Structure formats: C-alpha cells, structure tokens
Amino acid sequence: MRLLTLMLVVLPVAVGGAQDTAPASTAPAAPAEKTVEQTASPELVGELVKELAITPSQAQAGAGTLFGLAKGRLSPADFGKVAGAVPGMDGLLAAAPAAASKSGLEALAGQAGGMVAAASTLSKLGLKPETVAKFAPTLIKAVQSKGGAEVAKLLAGVLK
C-alpha cells in the first residue's frame, strides 16, 4: 500500500511535472471560427471564402473594411445603392476591425491613403499580399452579381 501511495505522488511529477502547471480547464479557450452561415452576409462571405481561399471571419472583416471605406467616399445615396445590393451591410460594417472603424478609414476616405489603410487592415487579418490585392476586385464582382453594373461601378470607383 505504501508503494502504491508513493507511486501516485511521484508518477505525475515524473510524467511531465503535472503538479507545476495549471489545469487545462483554466486556460481560456480560443474563439471558434465562424461558419459562413453565422456571418452577417452568408452569400457574399461564402463567395469571398470560395474565391480567395480565406476564412469566413477574414472575409466578413475584410468586406466590412472595404465597405467602410466606400461608405466614407460615396454620397449617402450612392452608398445606399451599394448597401441595397448587399444583405447584412450593417453587420459587415460592424465586423470591420477597430483600425477600419469610422474614425480610421472614413477619416481617410477622401485621401489617397484610404486604400493603403484598408490594405494594411486586410494584412492584419492574416491575409497574404496576393490575397489582399485580389480582395477588392473579388468583392466588386460579387456586388455586381447582385446589384448590377452600375452599383459595381460605384464601388469600383472608390476602391482604386
């Protein structure tokens, strides 16, 4: 019995020092990745995920970033046309990272730096440079399929 007690005390330490570390259950769990269906605009996000081989969260935040830039550069009436072609626009705008918020991108909207700031934000989402370069054209194409050529032209004009 004494040998068994000794083994129970010594074994965890010998196996990896389990007594010196915090139990796994106290560590915060990483947030689960959203599915396309859980995003603000599943059809648009799904198309971006498929075309760019990115995660739904990256697609949603990236679209929100570029739509935020467009919102600051377009007249309210023109942005309304774009928003009308994209179900869930408010959710997409809300999904943009803090750096792409109203104070960030919309402040730069009238300047050439707006697209540079947007590209920087897309990079911070973990997107590769070649994916960042394809993001705006892919987004414009997706919007055109829903809103037509006029709406796509409005968006393309501000995402240069």
Write down the pLDDT at residue 51: 96
Full DSSP string of 89-128: HHHHHHHS-GGGSIIIIIHHTTSTHHHHHHHHHHHHTT--
pTM equals: 0.72
Domain boundaries, the chain: 45-158
Write down the pLDDT at residue 74: 94
Write down the pLDDT at residue 84: 95
Residues in the chain predicted with pLDDT less than 70, given as ranges, are 1-32, 99-113
Write down the pLDDT at residue 99: 53
What is the per-residue pLDDT across 9-20, written as a single tens digit (0 to 9) for each? 444 444 444 444
Angstrom distance (rounded) from CA 113 to CA 8: 64
